[in-house]
Amino acid sequence: MPGALTSEIEVSLVSNKGFWLLLDNEELFVPYAEFPWFKQATFEQITTIEQPSSNHLYWPMLDVDLAVESIRNPALFPLVSKPNPSFQRTR
């Protein structure tokens, strides 16, 4: 059975463009343009982070799950939304 993760996660700076995440010895910038779920979040919501596994981060107050790799390389994980053809808008 695997042991508990011992890595440290810390938010070092929050700005109007995003926030810096310190994960072990790595600094990662989480821009709101790429991760819009954090744009309206409070400081407490952004800084309350869990790490269920080595490549998985979870913000329980926001119910946001992210792979660490998606923060490192957001272009490889584009946010794509396709319209639902069964949904019709009525006026």
Please give the DSSP secondary-structure letter assigned to residue 17: S
pTM: 0.75
- Token pair belonging to 11: 């938010």
Q: What is the pLDDT of residue 62?
A: 95
Residue by residue, pLDDT tens for the chain (91 residues) are: 454 545 688 998 999 999 999 998 899 999 999 999 999 999 999 999 999 998 999 999 999 999 999 999 988 887 654 555 665 555 5
Q: In what order do the strands lie in the sheet with 26-31?
A: 9-14, 18-23, 26-31
CA-wise closest residue to 50 among 60, 42, 63: 60
Q: Which domains does the chain have, with CATH numbers?
A: 9-76 (3.30.2020)
For residues 55 and 42, what is the distance between their CA atoms, to the nearest angstrom? Answer: 24
1 exposure class (CB count in 10 Å sphere: 0-12, 13-18, 19+) = exposed
pLDDT at 80: 57
Question: Residue 22 is encoded by which pair of tokens?
Answer: 């310190």
- pLDDT for position 6: 52
